[in-house]
C-alpha cells in the first residue's frame, strides 16, 4: 500500500460524507421537525387524557402512569416516523424487535409485579372499593387508606395497617360495608321458657329502636330461632350507617339497651340450670322444692 495516497483517500472519503450529509439535510430537517412536533403533541394529548381520566378515577398513581405511558407511545411513534423519513427502515425494525424481546423478558422476570400493576389499574378504573370504604378481603377487615398500583392499604382497626397485593384483592371476593351506606347488625340472645315471647319481642324491638344511631327507615326485626336447653333463642336485626357509627359500638349499645329493658320488665335472657328458680325469685314467688 502506498501511504503517500492516504491523504487523498481520506479527503475523498470526507468529501463523500459531506456530500451525503448535504443531500440528506432536507430529510434530516423534516425528521427533526416531525420528532419535535410529536414531542409537543405527546404533552398535549397526555394532559387532555389525564384531565378526562381524573373525572372517573381519583387514583393519582394510575392517572400519572397512564399519562406517562401515553406520552411515551406518542413520542415513539414520532421517532419511528422520523427514522422512516431518513430511510432507516432496518433501524426501525431492529428497534421494534428489540423492544419486543425486552418486553417479553421483563414480563417473564416480573410476572407477579406485572400482575399486581395490571390488577391495581383495573381496581382504580372499575372502583369496586374506594379510599375510606370499610371492606373485608383476603381475611382482613378494615378501612381503606390508600389504593396503590401494587397494593391496597387498609387500617385493621387495631393500630396496624395491612398492605394486600392488588392481584389478591382483584381476584378474590370483596365485602364492601360502605358502598350501600347501610349495614345490618345482628344481636343474638335468648329468653327463658317462662316469659311471654310476644312481650319480649315487643320490648326488645322498642329498646333498640330508640337508640339514636339506628336507621329509622328500616324496621328493627326480632325472630325466634329455636328451642335450646335453657332458653328460646332469638336474633335481633337493626340497621346503621357504618360511615357514621362504629358497628362494634352499635352492637354493644344495643346489648345494653336490651338488657336494661328486660331487667325492667323482669324478662330473663340466659339462665342455664336455674331458670325457674331465678324467675320465681324475681316475681317474689316462693320456690317450690322437692
The string of DSSP codes covering 107-151 is HHHTHHHHHHHHHHHHHHHH-SS-TT-EEEETTEEEEEEEE-SSE
Mean pLDDT of 80-96: 72
Domain shared by 206 and 159, yes or no = no
Q: pLDDT at position 126, please?
A: 76
Residue 185 contacts residue 251 (beta carbons within 8 Å): yes
Domain that holds residue 71: 5-122
Domain shared by 94 and 158, yes or no = no
53 domain residue, yes or no: yes
CATH code for the domain of 142: 2.30.30
Residue 237 contacts residue 251 (beta carbons within 8 Å): no
Domain shared by 170 and 187, yes or no = no
Domain shared by 67 and 158, yes or no = no
Q: What region does 157 belong to: left with phi over 0, alpha with psi -120 to 50, or beta?
A: left
pLDDT 10s digits, 145-182 = 888 878 889 998 888 999 999 889 888 899 888 888 88
Residue 67's nearest CA partner among 80, 55, 54 is 54
Neighbours of 98 (CB within 10 A): 10
pLDDT 10s digits, 120-145 = 878 877 778 888 888 999 989 888 98
Amino acid at each position: 500500500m502506498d501511504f503517500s495516497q492516504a491523504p487523498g483517500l481520506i479527503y475523498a472519503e470526507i468529501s463523500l460524507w459531506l456530500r451525503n450529509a448535504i443531500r440528506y439535510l432536507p430529510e434530516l430537517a423534516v425528521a427533526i421537525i416531525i420528532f419535535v412536533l410529536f414531542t409537543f403533541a405527546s404533552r398535549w394529548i397526555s394532559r387532555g387524557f389525564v384531565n378526562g381520566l381524573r373525572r372517573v378515577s381519583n387514583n393519582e398513581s394510575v392517572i400519572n402512569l397512564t399519562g406517562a405511558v401515553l406520552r411515551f407511545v406518542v413520542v415513539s411513534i414520532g421517532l419511528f416516523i422520523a427514522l422512516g423519513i431518513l430511510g432507516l427502515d432496518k433501524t426501525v425494525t431492529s428497534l421494534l424487535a428489540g423492544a419486543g424481546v425486552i418486553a417479553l423478558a421483563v414480563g417473564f422476570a416480573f410476572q407477579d409485579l406485572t400482575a399486581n400493576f395490571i390488577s391495581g389499574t383495573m381496581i382504580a378504573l372499575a372502583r369496586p372499593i374506594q379510599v375510606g370504604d370499610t371492606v373485608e378481603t383476603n381475611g382482613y377487615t378494615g378501612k381503606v387508606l390508600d389504593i396503590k398500583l401494587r397494593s391496597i392499604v387498609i387500617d385493621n382497626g387495631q393500630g396496624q395497617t395491612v398492605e394486600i397485593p392488588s392481584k389478591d384483592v382483584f381476584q378474590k371476593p370483596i365485602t364492601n360495608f360502605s358502598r350501600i351506606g347501610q349495614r345490618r347488625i345482628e344481636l343474638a340472645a335468648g329468653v327463658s321458657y317462662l316469659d311471654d315471647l310476644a312481650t319480649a319481642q315487643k320490648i326488645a324491638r322498642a329498646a333498640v329502636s330508640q337508640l339514636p344511631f339506628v336507621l329509622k327507615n328500616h324496621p328493627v326485626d326480632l325472630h325466634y330461632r329455636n328451642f335450646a336447653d335453657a332458653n328460646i333463642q332469638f336474633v335481633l336485626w337493626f340497621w346503621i350507617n357504618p360511615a357514621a357509627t362504629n358497628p362494634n359500638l352499635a352492637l354493644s349499645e344495643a346489648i345494653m339497651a336490651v338488657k336494661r329493658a328486660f331487667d325492667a320488665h323482669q324478662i330473663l335472657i340466659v339462665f342455664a340450670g336455674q331458670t325457674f328458680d331465678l324467675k320465681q325469685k324475681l316475681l317474689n314467688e316462693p320456690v317450690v322444692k322437692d
